[in-house]
Amino acid sequence: MPVCWLFSEEGLHKPIHLPHWHASYWVEDQKQQLKTKNVLVSKLLHIVNDLYPYTIQFKEDLIGEQRGVKRPREHISVDKEVSGQDTRPLTTKNNEKEKSVVPDTQTSKSDGSSGHWNQGLKVSMQDPKMQVYKDETVVVIKDKYPKARYHWLVLPWQSIPNLKALRKEHCDLVRHMDEVGKQMVCQCPDTDSLRFRMGYHAIPSMSHVHLHVISQDFDSPCLKNKKHWNSFTTDYFIESRDVLHMLESDGRVCVKDNTSELLKLPLRCHICHKEVSTIPALKEHLKSHF
């Protein structure tokens, strides 16, 4: 049976045996000695032969041919259920410090988990419990942490990371997102008594472009700090119609420099513009308007 071996193209060491179905990768320490590290089975590893001076080769057992070649200690076994997973080793350049292996950030279809917290929208948009409307182009979900009585997100099925990735060819998509947002407002039971705004955060914290449709009462326990407030009541919140206009005229969305500084502005009522000192004081003041 062919055996998997790690070869140094520069002859720095003898061939190293890589056990079948064992997830591991090899790194060089500062003394140029190879050390083995265990890796979680869920991580997909690659070897880049064009960049690193190592190759993977399958040959007949070299024990008889290469005297003195020691087999490394067996690593943690891979579960049989995932034994078909690609677990090829990752190697690093000579004299390079150990680097961590970054897992794929794509949403897992099997468990619904996300590679990172900012990928959460990709999970929520697939959750039927979160969906309130969907068609072939977009899906509408309830914001997991609503900042008002009514707070929805309109997301395209197409994978678009953020506003900066939008181009002129996305005009029809953005226009449709705007139309769906307006439909949500029209169907709201309190549409006659509440005002709504639709727009995008200039610098969103969550990956995957999304349109906020939010009532202007801001009556929610999830609205907790100045950043929350200013992200919806300053120019940090870009109106949907303005985004569409920029795409139609410039082919891209322009975000002004130092936009993040808007989150640090003093708290100010979005209706009468009175300045208040704290979020509790602001919420108490808002009661006079609703």
Report CA-CA distances (Å) from 172 to 146, 250, 263, 278, 286.
Answer: 27, 15, 31, 41, 37
DSSP 82: G
**Exposure string over 93-120, b if 16+ CB within 10 A, otherwise e:** eeeeeeeeeeeeeebeeeeeebeeeebb
- Identified catalytic residue from 116, 210, 228, 270: 210
3-state helix, strand, coil in the chain (%, to 5): 25, 20, 55
Q: How far apart are CA 138 and CA 199, in angstroms?
A: 16
Residue 88 CB coordination number (10 Å): 14
- Cβ within 8 Å of residue 259, ≥6 positions away: 202, 203, 235, 236
Catalytic status, residue 75: no
- Among all residues, which ones are annotated catalytic? 210
